[in-house]
Chains A and B, each alone.
Chain A
Amino acid sequence: MLAMNYRGPYRVRADQKPMPEIQHPGDAIVRVTRSCICGSDLHLYHGLVPDTRVGTTFGHEFIGVVEEIGSDVENLKVGDNVLVPFNIACGKCIFCQQGLYGNCHESNPQATAVGGIFGYSHTAGGFDGGQAEYVRVPYADVGPMVIPDDMDHDDAVLLTDVVPTGYQAAEMGAIKPGDTVVVFGAGPVGLMAAKSAWLFGAGRVIVIDHIEYRLEFAKRFAQCEAYNFRSLEDVVLFIKKTTDYIGADVCIDAVGCEAAGNAMQTITGRKLMLQAGSATALHWAINSVKKGGVVSIVGVYGPTDNLVPIGNVVNKGITIRANQASVKRLLPRLIEHVRAGRLNPKEMITHRVPLEEVSDAYHIFSAKLDNCIKTILIPSSANK
Chain B
Amino acid sequence: MENKDFERKDIIGWGIDANPLDVPSYPMKLRNENDNKGMTWERPSQQLAQVEILTSNERPTITAVFGTPNPPSGLSGKIRRYAFKFSESSYGHWLPLLLADRVNMIEGVVDDFKRGHFPNIFSELGGKSELKHNPKGFARKVLVGLAITAAIVMVCRRDNDDEDDEY
Contact = CB atoms under 8 A, between A and B. Distances in A.
Contacts of B65: 23-24, 26-27, 88, 90, 106-107, 116, 125, 138-139
A23 B46 CA distance: 10
B98 A273 contact: yes
Given A52-B101, A109-B54, A363-B129, A7 B108 contact: yes
B130 interface: yes
A109 B52 CA distance: 12
A50 B101 contact: yes
A364 B133 contact: yes
A261 interface: no
B27 A363 contact: no
Given A50-B97, A53-B70, A126-B68, A112 B59 contact: yes
A347 interface: no
B116 interface: no
Given A99-B30, A112-B88, A364-B126, A92 B44 contact: yes
Contact of B124 (A12, A47, A109, A303): A12
Contacts of A276: 94
Contacts of A54: 70, 104-105, 107-108, 111
A362 interface: yes
A111 interface: yes
A27 B107 CA distance: 31
Contacts of A128: 67, 69
Interface residues of A, number: 65
A15 to B, nearest CB: 9
A51 B63 contact: no
Contacts of A93: 39, 41
Contact of B63 (A109, A171, A174): A109
A106 B64 contact: yes
A50 B98 contact: yes
Given A56-B70, A126-B68, 16 more contacts: A8-B105, A10-B124, A10-B126, A23-B68, A24-B65, A50-B94, A51-B80, A54-B104, A93-B39, A94-B34, A94-B41, A97-B32, A106-B44, A276-B94, A366-B126, A370-B129
Interface of A: 7-13, 23-27, 47, 50-57, 72, 88, 90, 92-94, 97-99, 105-113, 116, 122-123, 125-128, 138-139, 171, 174, 273, 276, 302-304, 359-364, 366-367, 369-370
Interface of B: 26-27, 29-32, 34-35, 39-45, 47-48, 50, 53-56, 58-59, 62-70, 76, 80, 84, 88, 91, 93-94, 97-98, 100-102, 104-105, 107-109, 111-112, 119-121, 123-130, 133-134, 137
